[in-house]
Amino acid sequence: MYTVNSGYSQFDGRNIIFARALSDPQCPCYGHSVEEHLPDIVKEGKSGYSLIDVALYEAAWVVYETYGGAFSWGRLRPLDAKPELDRLESYNPGPEQLTAVVKKAARFYGASLVGISRIDSRWVYSHDREGTPVEIPEGATHAVVMALEMDPRGIGTTPALTSSAVVGLAYSRIAFLLACMGEFIRNLGYKAIQMGNDTALSIPLAVDAGLGELGRHGLLITPQLGSRVRICKIFTDMELVCDNPLDTGIQQVCKTCRKCAEACEVDAISFEEEPTFEPVCKSNNPGVLKWPVNAEKCYAFWCENGGDCATCITACPFTVRTGVKETAPDDFWNTL
C-alpha cells in the first residue's frame, strides 16, 4: 500500500514528461522528441539500430497510436452495427460470479494479470495532458486493472530499438484488450471507461488491485513477471469483489538492492535507502512515499537513444527471475 501525506494532490497530466516536452519551456527536454535523432542513429550502423529495427519499432506502436476505439467511453459502432445488443438484459448474477466472469474475459482477450479495486479518486488526474479537467462519469466505482507481459528475449536487448519494439507491441495489444473488454462490459449492461496511461495513474491502481508493489525504479513489480509488464485499466459501475493489495516484501528488498539504480545509464534512479515524500522534478507528484525517478534525465536519454529504455526493468532481480536476460539484438531476431 501507499503512504500519503497531507501534501498530496491529484496529479496533473500536464506534468507528464511527454506533455512537458511539448508545452513546458522550463523542461530541459522541451522541443525534443524520442525519434528526432533516428536518421543519424541509423547511419551509425550499430546493432539494434538498423532501418529494419526502426521499422519494427515504429510499426509495433501503430495500433495503440491510431485506434481511437481502444479509448472509447461509449459503445463502439461498426459499419454493421448491431442495435439488438442494446436491448439485452443486464447480467447481474452477484458480485462474486460477475467478478469471475470479468477476470476470465480479461485473460481471454490477452491480459496476463488482472485485479479489481475500488476507484480511489486520488489516483485520477486533475487535468489531462491538454489541460482539460478530468471528470469520471457518475456511477463508476470499480477499476478492472490489467497487465500484459512483455517478451523476455526482446526486452533483454535494451536499450536497442528491438526492445522498444517489444514495448510498442505491448501497448498495441493493450489497445486490442481495452476495446474488447470495454465492449464486453457494455454488452453485459454496464459502463466501461477505458484507459491506458491517460485519465488516472496506472501503478497506484495496480497496487490497490493486488497486482504488485511499487519498486525503487518507479515501476510496478509483480510476483509473476517482475516489471516486465505494461498496465491498462477500465473503470466501471459493476459491483465487483476487490482484490487485496500485496505485501510480499518487495519494497524491503528495494531498500538495499539498488541494482536498477546502478544499471541506469543517466543516474535517474535514487540510491537512497529510504523513500521520501519529496519530488526530484516537476514530473513527480509530492506527497506519496516513494523513490522519485528523475523523468527529465530518463526522457533525455530516450531522445538521445532514439527509443525508450528498459534497462532498469532488466536489471531488477524480480524480473530476472522470470527469464529475462541480456540479449544481443541479432540473437533476438534469430529467434523470430
pLDDT in tens, 117-167: 999 999 999 999 999 999 999 999 999 999 999 999 999 999 999 999 999
Q: Does the structure show a pLDDT above 90 at 333? A: yes
Q: Give the pLDDT of residue 227.
A: 97
Domain count, the chain: 1
For the chain, percent helix, then strand, then coil, each to nearest 5? 40, 10, 45
Q: Read off the pLDDT of each residue in 15-23 and give the average, rounded to a whole number.
A: 97
Q: Give the pLDDT of residue 49.
A: 98
Kindly report the average pLDDT of the chain as a whole number.
95
- For residues 274 and 100, what is the distance between their CA atoms, to the nearest angstrom? 38
Q: Give the pLDDT of residue 245.
A: 96
Q: Does the structure show a pLDDT above 80 at 206? A: yes
| Per-residue pLDDT band at 86 (split at 50, 70, 90) | confident
Beta strands per DSSP E along 127-253: 142-149, 192-195, 213-214, 220-221, 229-236
Q: Give the pLDDT of residue 84.
A: 75
- 141 closest CA partner among 121, 122, 127, 126: 121
| Per-residue pLDDT band at 233 (split at 50, 70, 90) | very high
| Per-residue pLDDT band at 242 (split at 50, 70, 90) | very high
| Per-residue pLDDT band at 274 (split at 50, 70, 90) | very high
Q: Does the structure show a pLDDT above 90 at 7? A: no
Residue 1 located in a structural domain = no
Q: Which residues contact 316 (CB under 8 A, 6 or more apart)?
A: 215, 217, 221, 226, 227, 259, 260
Q: Which residues contact 19 (CB under 8 A, 6 or more apart)?
A: 13, 129
Q: How many helices (H) and strands (E) does the chain have?
A: 14, 6
Residue 167 located in a structural domain = yes
Q: Does the structure show a pLDDT above 90 at 179? A: yes
**pLDDT tens digits, one per residue of 290-309:** 999 999 999 999 999 999 99
Q: Read off the pLDDT of each residue in 319-329 and give the average, rounded to a whole number.
A: 95
Q: Provide the percentage of residues in the chain whose pLDDT is more than 90.
A: 94
Q: Does the structure show a pLDDT above 80 at 83? A: no
**Boundaries of domain holding 251:** 13-335
Residue 107 located in a structural domain = yes
Residue 19 located in a structural domain = yes
| Per-residue pLDDT band at 207 (split at 50, 70, 90) | very high
Q: How far apart are the first and last CA of the chain?
A: 39
Phi, psi of 282 (to 5 degrees): -65, -20
Residue 7 located in a structural domain = no
**pLDDT tens digits, one per residue of 43-76:** 999 999 999 999 999 999 999 999 999 999 998 8
Residue 117 located in a structural domain = yes
Least confident of 1-10, 25-34, 158-167: 1-10
Residue 266 located in a structural domain = yes
Residue 113 located in a structural domain = yes
- For residues 65 and 85, what is the distance between their CA atoms, to the nearest angstrom? 28
Q: Give the pLDDT of residue 149.
A: 98
